Amino acid sequence: MIPYGRHTIEDDDIAAVADVLRSEALTGGAAVGRFETALAAVSAAPHAVVCASGTAALHLVAMGLGLGPGDAVVVPSVTFLATANAARYVGADVRFADVDPDTGLMTPETLEEALARPSPGRPRAVIAVHLNGQCADMAGLLTVAERHGLTVVEDACHALGGAYRLDGIRHPVGAAPRSAAACFSFHPVKTVAMGEGGAITTRDDALADRVRRFRNHGMTRDPGAFTETAQAFDPSGAANPWYYEMAEPGFNYRASDLHCALGASQLAKLDRFLARRRALAARYDRALEPFAPLVRPIPRGPTEDDGWHLYVALIDFAALGQTRARVMERLRVAGIGTQVHYLPVHRQPYYRALDPDITLPGADAYYARCLSLPLFPDLDDGAVERVAATLGEILS
């Protein structure tokens, strides 16, 4: 069976984890810092804070920015649940933006539409999602966000290794040159796998400090941050060695040394993994050409070096007289796994109950046609041809 996505684990990855198992620290040790240093270098950001998942990363940033009740966060509807849920975790309202029907990406125009739509909460932030590995139009989105006084957060869970241009300068995804932060996921089907894991990159020193505290219950052991001096210090003025403080509660969102050792080993292979994913995406583009216009790749935008997490084909199932479920089942019988990314979040029951009248035609049009085909570094060229040929036979 060819899955739609799969991690690539090699002997050096296994050795890196085994070394941690033989060490004295399984969590809270040196491997955490090594991974953060490596990720900061890859993303060209001063701070990288590793955590338990991409979901945890989004939640930590929402907490770090002080978002809460009375605030609204604009989120594209075509994304994973966590992007919107992170706002709800802190009590903020979610305002869904429509997307381009062919790329699934929020655009400056759809962001403006979402901001103009009457909805609970005062808009304070927007989460720009880099979907499938393609970067959103950051220049355009930042222009709109800055005009409205919004903080921008990048959901880069699909886009590690990608890049975009601002003011003529190429920025790796994660550099966050004018965003508050970027959030990453290292789930097994992502480009770099940690098993479970996530991270935040930022240029904001204060935000980095806050998310570090929030990932560890809100605790600090920094004597310079202590406020309860009578219990924090002994008569000589030295900090008591056991002492810590919690100014506000956080969560146990730490990542272990086991996860970080695997992540650092994988991160060293990022260029190779990306090169293979891009080559496979180009091969899919060519293999699907005979089936156009009823089957076609998502259009390529102006961004640079897309970090292809997913390869999505747009299929006009209605014109072909076939249901997507039937096509997926026939592919499965042929040994080919596929997936749909994503059911628009505004159509989920929880969010539908909050805003039953919302209609987002771009998101619905993208969802109606999208199908994620197998894409991972170990996929061979012949498998791409087989997937395309089998899809063509089924659709014919």
Q: Is 26 left (phi over 0), alpha (psi -120 to 50) or beta?
A: alpha
Judged by phi (left if over 0) then psi (alpha if -120 to 50, else beta), residue 101 lies in alpha
Q: pLDDT at position 307, please?
A: 85
Does some domain include residue 254?
A: yes
* Beta-strand relationship, 181-185 and 151-155: parallel
Q: Supply the DSSP symbol for 76.
A: E
> Looking at the structure, do residues 163 and 110 belong to the same domain, yes or no?
yes
Residue 171 pairs with which residues in a beta bridge? 164
In this structure, the answer to whether residues 207 and 241 fall within a common structural domain is yes
Question: Are 255 and 289 in the same domain?
Answer: no
Return mean pLDDT, the chain. Answer: 97
Per-residue pLDDT of the chain (396 residues; tens, 9 = 90+): 999 999 999 999 999 999 999 999 999 999 999 999 999 999 999 999 999 999 999 999 999 999 999 999 999 999 999 999 999 999 999 999 999 999 999 999 999 999 999 989 999 999 999 999 999 999 999 999 999 999 999 999 999 999 999 999 999 999 999 999 999 999 999 999 999 999 999 999 999 999 999 999 999 999 999 999 999 999 999 999 999 999 999 999 999 999 999 999 999 999 999 999 999 999 999 999 999 999 999 998 766 678 899 999 999 999 999 999 999 999 999 999 999 999 999 999 999 999 999 999 999 999 999 999 999 999 999 999 999 999 999 998
Q: What is the DSSP string of 350-378?
A: HHHHH-TT---HHHHHHHHHEEEEP--TT
Q: Are 142 and 88 in contact (CB under 8 A)?
A: no
50 and 195 belong to one structural domain: yes
User: Within this chain, do residues 308 and 331 fall inside the same structural domain, yes or no?
Assistant: yes
Domain count, the chain: 2
* Domain limit, last residue, from 227, 243, 267: 267
CB 381 within 8 A of CB 277: no
Q: What is the pLDDT of residue 309?
A: 96
Question: What's the pLDDT score for residue 220?
Answer: 96
pLDDT digits (tens, 9 = 90+) for 50-76: 999 999 999 999 999 999 999 999 999
Q: Is residue 3 part of a domain?
A: no
1 is a domain residue? no
In whole angstroms, how large is the CA radius of gyration of the chain?
22
pTM of the predicted protein model: 0.97
Instruction: Kindly report, residue by residue over 341-380, the tens digit of the pLDDT.
Output: 999 999 999 999 999 999 999 999 999 999 999 999 999 9
* CATH code (residue 383): 3.90.1150.10
Q: What CATH number has the domain bearing residue 252?
A: 3.40.640.10
Burial code (b: 16+ CB inside 10 Å, e: under 16) for 81-102 equals ebbbbbbbbbebbbbbbbbbbb
pLDDT reported for residue 304:
60
Q: Active-site residues: which are they?
A: 190
The Cα 332–Cα 327 span in angstroms is: 9
Note whether residue 4 is domain-resident: no
245-246 vs 219-220, strand pairing mode: antiparallel
- Indicate the residue among 220, 244, 267 that finishes a domain: 267
Does residue 315 sit in the same domain as residue 201? no
In a domain, 274, yes or no: yes
Which one of 267, 289, 319 terminates a domain? 267
In a shared domain, residues 111 and 231 = yes
Give the containing element (helix H, strand E) for 40: helix 30-43
In a domain, 174, yes or no: yes
Together in a domain, 258 and 348: no
Same domain membership, residue 289 and residue 236: no
One domain, residues 274 and 368 = yes
Could you give the CA distance from residue 72 to residue 74 in angstroms, rounded to a whole number? Answer: 7
Residues 280 and 236 in one domain: no
Are residue 387 and residue 298 in the same domain, yes or no?
yes
pLDDT value for 191: 96
State which residues form the domain around 343. Answer: 270-395
In a domain, 246, yes or no: yes
Residue 5 lies in a domain: no
With b for 16 or more beta-carbon neighbours within 10 A and e for fewer, the 309-331 pattern comes to bbbbbbbebeeeeeebeebbebb
